[in-house]
Each structure stands twice: as structure tokens, then as C-alpha cells.
């Protein structure tokens, strides 16, 4: 799961980022609405935590821009939690009418924010097909469970995210730079060797449940994709 934190208060932004990373989420952090708009047009997110008062483009306008696009556009329907120091009913109505899914007033309780995050992520998973499948391989993003022929795969969060990405793209080749862009935050600096290591351990775990050795194919010089289902 990938979260975008849009907050110009460095202390709050850092606290949120560390809290999400500690709960195994991938996080990108930006401090103004203009940069946030760029990221929202470049990467896919499962949740946006959005401050109302931001430099360049404020949270209300950013949320309105996001919701004004067609449902098929990138991140047009991503859940948004709006954070603000403004606590009047009128301000809450303004935020919700702009397209926010939830609204929290600063100072907020971190445990409550995390609970609301989980609730919105569950809702997002439930609104789509909760299970991804490739032959006998099954992934449930809402529970982070993976099985092959009903045998459980014990995957790390990164391995699960990598397998989810590959299945979602099927026969489309995913290069190592694209995998890094999709699965690591902008603050991390993994090498392509890290991707190769995750692919190798993922294949080992798939072999342990008697999946074919070439279920994840290497397209030499290009990247990886799932094996054609016959």
C-alpha cells in the first residue's frame, strides 16, 4: 500500500511518514500542493493524507482538481484524509464537499488517524475485486494473504507488493527501474540489485509451494512478467 503525505509542517510530515513506514506502508512526502499534483499524476496511491493549508495549491483546490477528473484518471478516486487546524463545521463541510473522504482536526491522535487510514484502505479494497489471480496463484490485497493451489505463501510486505504488481500487469514487462518507482518511496535509494534479490527470494518461496520455476519470467535486458497461462 502506497500513501502520499502532503503536509508543509515538517515536524508533522516527518512524524506521519515514520508512523506509516513503521506499519509497513510505502510513503512519499511532499510539502506543497503543486508538487503533490505532480506526484498524483505520476504514481498510483492507495491513500492521500492532505493538509488543508498548503503553499502554491491549497488542499481544497488540490482535492477538487483530483475529483474533477474522470473516474478512469490516475488517482481520481483515491481516498483522501484531510488534516487541518480549522475546526468549524463550515470548514469541515468545505473539505468534505471538495471530495475528502475523512476530516481530522489538528492536533489529532495518531492512533485514531491510523485506524481511519485502515478503514479507508479496507473500503478501497472492498470497492474493487478483492482478489487477484494468475492461474492457481491468488492474492488478497485487503488481507495481504497469498496462496498457490490453496497453500499459503509467507511473504514479506515488499514481496507481496512485488507479486501484486506483476500479477496486476500480467504479460506486460516490468523493468527494474519501473518496479523501484512503483514499490519504493522517493526517500529510499534501492539499487536494481535489490529488485533482483526480491525476485529471487519470491521465486524460492513460490517453489516451496510447488509453483513452476518460471511462473515469474525474466525477459532478458528488459525486466519481468508473469508466465503465460495456458
Domains of the chain: 2-127 (3.40.50.2300), 132-226 (1.10.10.10)
> Is the bond into 107 cis (omega within 30 degrees of 0)?
yes
C-alpha cell at 144: 495481504
pLDDT at 15: 95
Tell me the average pLDDT across 120-126: 70
Least confident range of 131-145, 192-206, 213-227: 131-145
Q: Which residues pair with 152 in a beta bridge?
A: 147
The chain-wide mean pLDDT, for the chain, equals 88
Three-point CA angle 13, 19, 25, nearest 5°: 100
Confidence of residue 169 (pLDDT cuts 50, 70, 90): confident
Confidence of residue 72 (pLDDT cuts 50, 70, 90): low
Res 125 pLDDT > 90? no
pLDDT at 219: 95
Least confident range of 71-75, 151-155, 211-215: 71-75
pLDDT at 71: 63
Other C-beta atoms closer than 10 Å to the C-beta of 63 total 24
Express each pLDDT in 16-67 by its tens digit: 999 999 888 889 999 999 999 999 988 889 999 999 989 999 999 999 999 8
pLDDT at 58: 93
37 close to 63: Cβ distance less than 8 angstroms: no
Amino acid at each position: 500500500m502506497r500513501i502520499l503525505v502532503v503536509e508543509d509542517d515538517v515536524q508533522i510530515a516527518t512524524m506521519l511518514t515514520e508512523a506509516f513506514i513503521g506499519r509497513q506502508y510505502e510513503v512519499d512526502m511532499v510539502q506543497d500542493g503543486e508538487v503533490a499534483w505532480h506526484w498524483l499524476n505520476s504514481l498510483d496511491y492507495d491513500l492521500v493524507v492532505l493538509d488543508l493549508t498548503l503553499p502554491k495549491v491549497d488542499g481544497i483546490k488540490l482535492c477538487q482538481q483530483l475529483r474533477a477528473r474522470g473516474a478512469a484518471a490516475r488517482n481520481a478516486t483515491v481516498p483522501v484524509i484531510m488534516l487541518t487546524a480549522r475546526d468549524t463545521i463550515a470548514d469541515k463541510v468545505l473539505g468534505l464537499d471538495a471530495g475528502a473522504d475523512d476530516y481530522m482536526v489538528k492536533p489529532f491522535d495518531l492512533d485514531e488517524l491510523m485506524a481511519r487510514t485502515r478503514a479507508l484502505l479496507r473500503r478501497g479494497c472492498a470497492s474493487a475485486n478483492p482478489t487477484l489471480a494468475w492461474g492457481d496463484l491468488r492474492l488478497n490485497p485487503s488481507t495481504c494473504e497469498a496462496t498457490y493451489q490453496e497453500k499459503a505463501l509467507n511473504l514479506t510486505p515488499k514481496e507481496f507488493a512485488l507479486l501484486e504488481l506483476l500479477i496486476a500487469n500480467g504479460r506486460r514487462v516490468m523493468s527494474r527501474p519501473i518496479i523501484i518507482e512503483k514499490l519504493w518511496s522517493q526517500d529510499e535509494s534501492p539499487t536494481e540489485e535489490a529488485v533482483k534479490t526480491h525476485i529471487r527470494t519470491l521465486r524460492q518461496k513460490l517453489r516451496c509451494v510447488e509453483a513452476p520455476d518460471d511462473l515469474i519470467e525474466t525477459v532478458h535486458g528488459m525486466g519481468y512478467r508473469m508466465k503465460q497461462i495456458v
